[in-house]
Every structure is written in C-alpha cells, then in structure tokens.
C-alpha cells in the first residue's frame, strides 16, 4: 500500500495536500490522557479510526510525553510543511502534535493536543482538540 497515496496525490492534487480540520471526537474514542493514571496501571487509551481505510491506531499517554524514544513528528519534510501552512503544530505554547502516516492507507494525519495543568505537580493531562486530515 505504501506509495499509493502519493500516486493519487500527484494525479488529483498536483502536489498540494487538500487538508481539513475535524472534531477529534468524530475519530477517537478517547481524547483525554492523564499521566497520573499510568502509576495506577490504568492507562488512558484513545483509538483513532482512519476515515479513509478504517484502520484503528491506538494511542496512550506515553505517546504524548516527551520521553526517550518519543516519535511524535513522523511526516516527511514536504508534508510537514504543508500541514504547518494549514495548521501549525504549535500555535500556542502548550500545544503540540502527533504526526504520522496511517499504517493502512499511508495518508498523513496530524493530531493536535494541548497540555493542561501544572507539570511540576504531575497534575496535568493531555487533551486532543483537533485533527488535521487529507480529503481525497
Ligand atoms: Zn487509513
């Protein structure tokens, strides 16, 4: 499947991604990730379902934390630039994004979230508030 999207893109969009912001609750079954839950062995899990190929991709709190091995920005430079033009990953200080290619259809996705609360007291959580996808 890899490469199919790039071929479609070159045919239909001449190199420009056709992007849209969607409400995360339309795509994910969980949008709140609380680090404290991890200590109780009760992980927050949110599954993103790709609207194009129905592939489910699961995320846990660890995906949002900047820990060792954190792989949050996985888009090619070219695709990341197009996403940034449409909706920057860090518009505000406490925002960041998880960028990835759908393992089912290889389309790029940007999940935008914010950090809420005080990091010093571990009383914080991550909240997904927007998702950027391609329209085909
Ligand atoms: Zn997909």
How many angstroms separate the alpha carbon of residue 125 from the centre of ligand 1? 27
Buried b (16+ CB within 10 A) or exposed e, 4-34: ebeeebeeeeeeebebeeeebeebbebbebb
Q: 104-113, pLDDT tens digit by residue?
A: 999 999 999 9
- What percentage of the chain exceeds 70 in pLDDT? 77
DSSP string covering 30-79? --EE-HHHHHTT---EEEEE-TTT--EEEEEHHHHS--TT---B-S-HHH
Residue whose entry in the numeric block shows the structure tokens 């860090």? 90
Q: 23-55, pLDDT tens digit by residue?
A: 999 999 999 998 765 555 667 889 999 999 999
The angle formed by the CA atoms of residues 66, 69 and 73, to the nearest 5 degrees, is 65
How many angstroms separate the alpha carbon of residue 130 from the centre of ligand 1? 17
* φ and ψ at residue 10, rounded to 5 degrees: -70, -30
What integer pLDDT is reported at residue 128 of this predicted model? 96
How many angstroms separate the alpha carbon of residue 103 from the centre of ligand 1? 6
The structural domain count of the chain equals: 1
What integer pLDDT is reported at residue 10 of this predicted model? 56
Encoded tokens for 19? 């992007």
pLDDT classification of 120: cutoffs 50, 70, 90: low
User: From CA 128, how far away is CA 84, in angstroms rounded?
Assistant: 17
How many angstroms separate the alpha carbon of residue 16 from the centre of ligand 1? 18
Whole domain around residue 86: which residue ranges? Answer: 4-134
User: From CA 113, how far away is CA 96, in angstroms rounded?
Assistant: 6
What predicted TM-score, i.e. pTM, was given to this entire model?
A: 0.81
Residue whose entry in the numeric block shows the structure tokens 């998702």? 131
Give the SS3 label for residue 94.
coil
pLDDT classification of 68: cutoffs 50, 70, 90: low
């Amino acid at each position: 499947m890899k490469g199919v999207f790039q071929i479609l893109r070159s045919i239909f969009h001449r190199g420009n991604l056709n992007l849209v912001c969607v409400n995360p609750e339309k795509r994910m079954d969980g949008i709140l990730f609380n680090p404290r839950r991890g200590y109780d062995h009760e992980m927050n899990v949110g599954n993103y379902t790709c609207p194009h190929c129905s592939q489910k991709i699961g995320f846990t709190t660890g995906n949002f934390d900047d820990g060792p091995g954190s792989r949050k920005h996985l888009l090619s430079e070219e695709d990341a630039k197009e996403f940034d033009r449409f909706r920057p990953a860090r518009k505000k200080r406490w925002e960041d994004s998880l960028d990835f290619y759908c393992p089912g259809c290889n389309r790029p996705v940007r999940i935008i979230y914010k950090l809420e609360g005080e990091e010093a007291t571990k009383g914080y959580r991550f909240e997904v508030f927007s998702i950027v996808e391609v329209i085909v």
